[in-house]
Chains A and B, each alone.
Chain A
């Protein structure tokens, strides 16, 4: 269950994390305020998909990232072309989860992930069928749409921000 306040915060976290992430790969993305009403499976068809199972902090869900080939072709990792779309999508999913996790940690929501995987059509079908709910986020790019979905159960009734948590930030280098 998500209250409207919690949903608003979660939406902001996922949208900002996704925009920041794709920016590091040289891809400009803009969130679409009203995401598509098309069924998730249809949206993912023919795209590169990465999935991470997420538990803890009120989550028993999967984070799904969908990138079409046309968007992958724009990707550049620090000036280098990624070796494969599947591998790049999995790493994007991993880094997207990392960003969401670190932002939610400031609200004392501690998530535990699985390793990222490229789900088969069958496991995506099972996931979509089983999921209690799907939070769907849509992003426009110059060459197509990117989708992020949280499929499963998210039980967050309250989010309490704290600036006392001094975690590292994306891109930090700490030498001991």
Chain B
């Protein structure tokens, strides 16, 4: 039998606030993954990475993330396919997804939005824009960076 420590009066949100939020970056480019990891780690996030949609979905089975940043054009399973699979999975349906891509057409953006994406970021990645978007989508608001 597991002996549990006595309950403390510390509210759970206070404990959670000390843990870095985990962000998943999914891109077949190691250059982009490295950039996003470095920028978000520097901003206090815990970043994990995957090289395509299949690997990312597998990782999401083992990690609880506050946000997934997902490239559109990838081998094996592209970003929109991954997004659709996440929205069909009750465990992942509420994870916010920010698409990161070179694609600029309104029809693609509308398709991602309809599939449940929370944002669309066009490469190249500007560090400050990335941090602001991630803070917003992980519910930490723009004030955290100031």
| B93 at the binding interface (Cβ < 8 Å) | no
List B38-75 residues whose CB lies under 8 Å from chain A: 38-39, 73-75
| B106 at the binding interface (Cβ < 8 Å) | yes
Asked whether A91 lies within 8 Å of B105 as measured between CB atoms, the reply is no
What is the CA–CA distance of A91 and B29 in the complex, to the nearest angstrom?
Answer: 6
Write the A75-93 contact mask toward B (1 if CB under 8 angstroms, else 0): 0011110111001101100
| A66 at the binding interface (Cβ < 8 Å) | no
Asked whether A83 lies within 8 Å of B124 as measured between CB atoms, the reply is no
List A74-131 residues whose CB lies under 8 Å from chain B: 77-80, 82-84, 87-88, 90-91, 94-95, 97-99, 101-102, 105, 113, 115
Q: How many residues of A contact B (CB 8 A)?
A: 34
Asked whether B119 lies within 8 Å of A174 as measured between CB atoms, the reply is yes
Asked whether A87 lies within 8 Å of B29 as measured between CB atoms, the reply is yes
Residue from A115, A167, A170 within 8 A of B73 (CB atoms) = A115
Residue from A80, A101, A170 within 8 A of B34 (CB atoms) = A80
- By beta carbon, the residue of chain B nearest A75 is B31
Which residues from chain B sit less than 8 Å from chain A, CB to CB? 28-32, 34-35, 38-39, 73-75, 101-106, 109, 113, 117-127, 129-130, 132-133, 136-137
